[in-house]
Amino acid sequence: MSLSDISVKIKEQPTGMAYAVLHELATNLEQLLDTAEENTIDLRSLPMNEADREELAELLGRGEVDITLNTIGSSRIFETAFSGIWWVTHYGDDAMVLSELIEVAKVPSLIPTHTDEISVALQRIQQVSTQAMMESKDV
Amino acid sequence: MSELPTSNSEISETLQDSLRKQGITRRTFLKFCTTVASAMALPPSAAYAMAETLVKTKRQSVIWLSFQECTGCTESLTRSHKPTVESLIFDFISLDYHHTLQAAAGHAAEEAREQAMKDNWGKYILIVDGAIPVKDDGVYSTIAGITNLSMLEDVAKGAAAIVSVGTCAAYGGLPKADPNPTGAVSVGDIIKDKPIINIPGCPPIPVVITGVLAHVLTFGIPELDDKGRPVAFYGESIHDRCYRRPFYDKGKFAKSFDDEGARKGWCLYEVGCKGPVTYNACATTKWNNGTSFPIQSGHGCIGCSEPDFWDKGGFYKALPQGQWGSAEGIAAAAVAGAAIGIGAAAMAKSHQESEGESS
């Protein structure tokens, strides 16, 4: 059982922070368009309550891309209704939110495969391919 | 968790090589860095700088000495049911000596420590948990026949930096409590010529230990306060970030643990909460995977991350009259608390800006 299982909740009121974040996102989106500069806002660094977060989520909406990453707990990355604005939530093993970010980018930074890992993958696939060919000759 | 390195080549491999061998992907690593940066209130860009810097570094040799302690600090970091983001730090360092965690015992263990010191002289990080007894030449706690005092002085000579984990190592803690029969002191009371980072708490919060180590590995020693604590985690009091703070500001206090005020979740100041004078991240980072912290569970803060917390007059006695206790004092405290909050926010902002520049 966790705290989220307790049915009685205190209703918090939004403070208006969601609109401040929205304003910053507009500036960031403009920078992405003009100079390709990418930006990230750490939502946990802002004095937002749960109601602010819900209001921001409602204002940004959901787009068509939804990605789940499974590593040391899961991570959920989805594009909002505003193209180029991504909502990134990292969870720990017990579904606890570790960090929550909004990225303004063409592709979220966690998604592209790193060049080093492509290099390792190439070596591995060549090994598998060679081994498969040798085994097929044996048959 | 990493095993002890078996050869010098294994010690000298980069973190990137090590992660690859362990099947830890760059995405996992970046997630770790993002979590640590967020916990330390660093700007998001610092996570990428941290990831890029860390993968290129050699696995840092770490020697962990446990002296007069209960092993609670190690338990805090390691005893979770599943691998956590916090425990990933063990994959990023070369933990060359730790009584509780290492496989070697007896002479082999001490040889591992001496070898690690020789191989990494001047470069290793020394972590200490536990106080050091100095009375009667330190005979009250020994390891392999060596007094804690002698071992600390010896190992500290070759360390690049020292991290005192837990209140015992940072300030003497429980062993130092009156009448202090063993003459227990802190690391800082003995070592004067090395940078020392204090991570107090009984025990410290796991992500705080991890965050500070990751910061040391990437950006160096973090900004410290006057008690040697990283400002990112110890910059604000429990009271300033407590969710019960609005009740304090309104003068609504629980008078006992079973009265109406306690049931309604009012401020625990009058039943002894030390939140106003305790600096730590419990109210924001929380415990047990972010489940709760003592005040949220109905008990006042006992001030375990402050020096001499055992000898400050009792866990259930309200803070001294005149300092916080009178109605006027409470009103003044509310104003002072707000001022401290603003000051801490400014400090955190300045800290973030300087980190942003360095990244």
The answer to whether the CB of B95 falls within 8 A of the CB of B145 is: no
Complete domains list, chain A, with CATH: 3-111 (3.30.1370.140)
Q: For residue B305, what are the CA distances in angstroms to B38, B117, B200, B237, B259?
A: 22, 30, 5, 11, 28
Does position B353 have pLDDT exceeding 80, yes or no?
no
Cα–Cα distance measured from residue B47 to residue B29, given in angstroms and rounded to the nearest whole number: 10
pLDDT in tens, A52-68: 899 999 999 999 999 99
Sign of torsion over alpha carbons A18, A5, B267, B313: negative
Q: What is the least distance, in Å, from the CA of B336 to any CA of chain A?
A: 20
In this complex, which of A3, A41, A75 lies closest to B31 when CB atoms are compared?
A: A75
Q: How far is CA A90 from the centre of its chain?
A: 7
pLDDT in tens, A76-117: 999 999 999 999 999 887 777 888 999 999 999 999 998 888
Buried b (16+ CB within 10 A) or exposed e, B150-166: ebbeebbebbbbbbbbb
Residue B192: CB partners within 8 Å, gap ≥ 6? none
Complete domains list, chain B, with CATH: 8-234 (3.40.50.700), 245-347 (4.10.480.10)
Q: How confident is the model at residue B29 (pLDDT cuts 50, 70, 90)?
A: confident
Query: What φ, ψ does residue A75 adopt, rounded to 5°?
Result: -135, 140
pLDDT of residue B349: 36
pLDDT in tens, B283-324: 887 887 667 899 988 999 999 999 999 998 889 999 875 444
With CA atoms as reference, the chain B residue closest to A49 would be B243
In this complex, which of B16, B44, B291 lies closest to A116 when CB atoms are compared?
A: B16
- Chain A positions touching B25 (Cβ under 8 A) are 71, 117
B41 part of contact set with chain A, CB < 8 Å: yes
Q: How confident is the model at residue A8 (pLDDT cuts 50, 70, 90)?
A: low
Q: Which of B69, B252, B256 has the alpha carbon at shortest distance from B170? A: B69
B83 part of contact set with chain A, CB < 8 Å: yes
Chain A and chain B share a number of CB contacts under 8 A equal to 68
pLDDT of residue A73: 83
Cβ contact, residue pair A72, B28, below 8 Å: yes
Neighbours of B98 (CB within 10 A): 21
pLDDT in tens, B254-285: 999 999 999 888 999 999 999 999 999 998 87
Mutate to test the interface with A, among B50, B56, B85 (most CBs of A within 10 A): B85
With CA atoms as reference, the chain B residue closest to A119 would be B20
pLDDT in tens, B113-156: 999 999 999 999 999 999 999 999 999 999 999 999 999 999 99
Percent of chain B's residues with pLDDT above 70? 82
In the block, which residue shows the tokens 């392999």?
B144
Cβ contact, residue pair A92, B16, below 8 Å: no
Q: What is the least distance, in Å, from the CA of B3 to any CA of chain A?
A: 20
The answer to whether the CB of B305 falls within 8 A of the CB of B234 is: yes
Q: What is the least distance, in Å, from the CA of B358 to any CA of chain A?
A: 17
Cα–Cα distance measured from residue B342 to residue B223, given in angstroms and rounded to the nearest whole number: 18
- The whole-number average pLDDT for the span B70-93 is 74
| C-alpha dihedral (B96, B100, B101, B102), degrees to nearest 10 | 50
DSSP B44: H
Q: What is the least distance, in Å, from the CA of B72 to any CA of chain A?
A: 22
